[in-house]
Structure 1
Amino acid sequence: MTSFAPRERAAISALSASAIREIANGGMGRTDIDAFWFGESDIPTPRFIVDAATRSLEACETFYSQNLGIPALREAIAAYGNGLRGGTIEPARIGVTGSGVSALMLAAQLVLSPGDRAVVVTPIWPNIAEIPKILGAEVIRFPLVVREGSWSLDVDRLIETLDESVTLLVFNAPNNPTGFTLDAQSQKALLTHCRRLGIWVLSDEVYERLVYTGARVAPGMSDHAEPEDRLILVNSFSKAWLMTGWRVGWLTLPAALAPALEKIIEYNTSCVPVFVQKAALAALTDPEGEAAVTGIVEAFGRSRALLMEGFARLGRIEAPDADGAMYSFFRVAGHDDDMALAKTLLGTAGLGLAPGRAFGPEGKGWLRWCFAARPEKIARGLDRLEGFLARE
């Protein structure tokens, strides 16, 4: 009798495990650590959002909803985006998803087949670069570089890379982990080129509200798009509304793809819980909503400034400029092994940071610090880092 050992398929076994989790698992549960490893604030969801979910639960709204989301939320998302950018996106082009990462997976399922090529601008949140591999696609990494103290993208060289063999361009701006934002002119050039060659563009814009230039929103691909462009936008309630644990996001895509999205949501998660959608609806429509986002961005900006000032004071730290997101991607002179440094900082200084290699080979030697934290926690973290450097 032949016996077959249980094994996952090769594409799954080849996926990279999360290096962030490797560090976090070594420190979670300890009370002597200041942790900045996850892309999550230590500030809870605003009360008015929680109250909306509570009212929904008290009304026993615990049944299935539409695959693409309740109509009121889809309409609110379209109105929010159009008000933010002056667009004319219809609710029919919106699909509510069970988190931003689910939206990324759904988008990839819509357009990628085994053997397709996806160009991904890196370093990037590992989930984004690994998702095409799950579907059997090939990932070509295109790295950002540091020029004159800031993160930079060589747009001309990227356009040269995007030839007829490429199915999908993926980028995330403002970027996790670097905070890099892509300017409007570059976005227009990339979209124009991809339109000409029929290349799909998947733009992860979950950090669009987290910019520190005084702008209300970061430049977005939809600013230059036609309704039927091969453009899919990913967004989420996680960051700007402090709703990481709620797991709710959305996709904006060509209307022709909406029926297909409806089908694959059914086969993935069926729908997002109604009480979660009611919380998301409150985030967009409650009179407190926009003021809450403004306050969150201002708070993150203060913590960002405190962290940057601390880095400058400590010396030995290279922290390139970036205008968005909620991270500093930095490196410490004399430490080329980011994983070893992250483990040492955790073990000897009680400082929890994400190792750069978690975001791809371009991140080796770097560390990511999430500054979406209260100033007193940032100050304690800097004290821990200063103490570590003084002992070397």
Structure 2
Amino acid sequence: MSDAATLAPAADPTAGLPPRIRGVGTSQIGLVADRGRDDPDVVKLWIGEGDLATPPFVVEAAHRAMRAGHTRYATSLGLPRLREALSAYHARHWDVDVPPDRFAVTAGGMNAIMQAAQALLEPGDEIIIPSPAWPNLAEAVRVTGGVPVTVAYRVLPDGRFALPLADIEAALTPRTRVLVVNSPSNPTGWMMPLPEMRALRDLARARGLWILSDEVYAHFTYGRDIAPSFLQICTEDDRLIVSNTFSKNWAMTGWRAGWLVYPRGLGPTFAKLGQYNTTSIPTFIQHAAVVALDEGDGFIRTMVERCAESREILVTGLSRLPGVTVASPDGAFYLMAHVAGGERSLDLAFRLLREAKVGVAPGTAFGPEGEGFVRLCFAISPALAHEAVSRLSAVLGR
């Protein structure tokens, strides 16, 4: 073999892959987390995950199900008992009558989003996503051949976020197929008021568009009991898909259990999508999910109360720092803090990890509209929130 051949660069192993796969982005949250995830001294606020363990009554339910032999395949739409529990859960919290045959159990909220994108999008179809946004939304769209079109939230002088309906309408084109709403929002904490939800529903009806409503953080609201759901204002025939997960409410991020709600008549479609995506999620996890739904309202209240206290600690502490603008979010469990000075968000996140031993997510992880911001997860103990404020103040307060 010649020296030239020996020194030739290796061929790009992705060269033969479809452009939509080659173009899938790398998570900036992961870039930061990879530098500090194994450091026990880091206060880790980068991932959308609380610091509480899954409650024992859910864990024990999974153990009982395994011991009882519930370790075999289940129907791809989910166990009938779980779908009945989901129907009862929605009736209890939103006073809506959604029959069990309109639910599909998924491998977490991410798989719910992916199945929705697979069901709704042809290659080249556009989907409107308010931004900054959870990055997985846009990447799921790209994987399925769709085109994400971002509409920037407006940032108010006090640091709060707004999303005028006119901005969404201005982004529509003949290729628009789906409107995404994530309320309460990750990462902004914005929550869509019910009158604006009705207006968006009417726009979707008039234009023949679908609404994909990501309602994962509905319980995490401050000053009200629960966020409104599109299920409260839409009929069973509206072009609406609602996605949700067990991850946040019941501290079950690693269990990979979620669900979606679809219009009447689409059960066979999502049965097939579930079959060819995952076959089903583990049967014993589904039994545990029933118990989470039926017995877990108290745990949710504890989580939300804890988040409310830590939110107040972080907002109060960070607001005192020079050049930092942060507002109390209406919902979810994230702060988007704007830090003046022109430092790139990714560089700032690396610096805070290095100098303050606090792990935050760079704002640009959620789209270019997040430049200048960092996101902090406050689903943590109040004591840890105080420690994070102390460490960040030592660096940002200079």
TM-score, normalised by the number of residues in structure 2: 0.94
The 5-angstrom pairing of residues 54-203 of structure 1 reads 54-149=63-158, 150-203=160-213
* Residue identity matched to 1:263: K
- What is the rounded CA distance, in whole Å, between the counterparts of 1:191 and 1:162 in structure 2? 15
Query: Is structure 2 residue 19 aligned with structure 1 residue 10?
Result: yes
- What is the rounded CA distance, in whole Å, between the counterparts of 2:205 and 2:139 in structure 1? 25
Residue 6 of structure 1, CA deviation? 6.0
- What is the rounded CA distance, in whole Å, between the counterparts of 1:52 and 1:335 in structure 2? 51
Tell me which moved more, 96-105 or 144-153. 144-153
The 5-angstrom pairing of residues 165-314 of structure 1 reads 165-213=175-223, 215-286=224-295, 289-314=296-321
- What is the rounded CA distance, in whole Å, between the counterparts of 1:181 and 1:115 in structure 2? 29
* Residue identity matched to 1:196: A
- What is the rounded CA distance, in whole Å, between the counterparts of 1:33 and 1:167 in structure 2? 43
- What is the rounded CA distance, in whole Å, between the counterparts of 1:38 and 1:261 in structure 2? 29
2:45–2:378 contact (8 Å) kept in structure 1: yes
Structure 1 unmatched runs, 5+: none
- Deviations along 1:239-263, one digit per CA (max 9) or x if unpaired, are 1111111110000011221101000
> Are residues 298 and 4 of structure 1, via their aligned partners in 2, closer, same or farther at CA, if it must alter by over 3 Å?
closer
Tell me which moved more, 48-57 or 311-320. 311-320
SS at match of 1:142: strand
Number of the residue aligned with 1:388: 395
Number of the residue aligned with 1:361: 368
> Are residues 306 and 204 of structure 1, via their aligned partners in 2, closer, same or farther at CA, if it must alter by over 3 Å?
same
Number of the residue aligned with 2:38: 29
> Are residues 4 and 385 of structure 1, via their aligned partners in 2, closer, same or farther at CA, if it must alter by over 3 Å?
closer
1:120–1:140 contact (8 Å) kept in structure 2: yes
- What is the rounded CA distance, in whole Å, between the counterparts of 2:40 and 2:14 in structure 1? 41
Residue 160 of structure 1, CA deviation? 3.5
Query: Is structure 2 residue 54 aligned with structure 1 residue 53?
Result: no
- What is the rounded CA distance, in whole Å, between the counterparts of 1:279 and 1:365 in structure 2? 41
Query: Alignment length, in residue pairs?
Result: 386
SS at match of 1:212: coil
SS at match of 1:314: coil
RMSD: 1.5
* Residue identity matched to 1:139: P
> Are residues 340 and 4 of structure 1, via their aligned partners in 2, closer, same or farther at CA, if it must alter by over 3 Å?
closer
- What is the rounded CA distance, in whole Å, between the counterparts of 1:336 and 1:175 in structure 2? 25
Residue 312 of structure 1, CA deviation? 2.4
Tell me which moved more, 152-161 or 198-207. 152-161
SS at match of 1:217: coil
- Deviations along 1:362-386, one digit per CA (max 9) or x if unpaired, are 0011100000001111111111111
1:237–1:243 contact (8 Å) kept in structure 2: yes
The 5-angstrom pairing of residues 304-383 of structure 1 reads 304-383=311-390
- What is the rounded CA distance, in whole Å, between the counterparts of 2:321 and 2:372 in structure 1? 18
Residue 4 of structure 1, CA deviation? 9.4
- What is the rounded CA distance, in whole Å, between the counterparts of 1:66 and 1:24 in structure 2? 36
1:336–1:364 contact (8 Å) kept in structure 2: no
- Deviations along 1:30-80, one digit per CA (max 9) or x if unpaired, are 122111000001111111111111111111211000110000110110111
Number of the residue aligned with 2:5: none
1:146–1:320 contact (8 Å) kept in structure 2: no
SS at match of 1:178: coil
* Residue identity matched to 1:207: Y
> Are residues 5 and 154 of structure 1, via their aligned partners in 2, closer, same or farther at CA, if it must alter by over 3 Å?
closer
Structure 2 unmatched runs, 5+: 1-11
TM-score, normalised by the number of residues in structure 1: 0.95
- What is the rounded CA distance, in whole Å, between the counterparts of 1:268 and 1:284 in structure 2? 24
Residue 24 of structure 1, CA deviation? 0.1
- What is the rounded CA distance, in whole Å, between the counterparts of 2:126 and 2:133 in structure 1? 17
* Residue identity matched to 2:300: V
SS at match of 2:265: helix
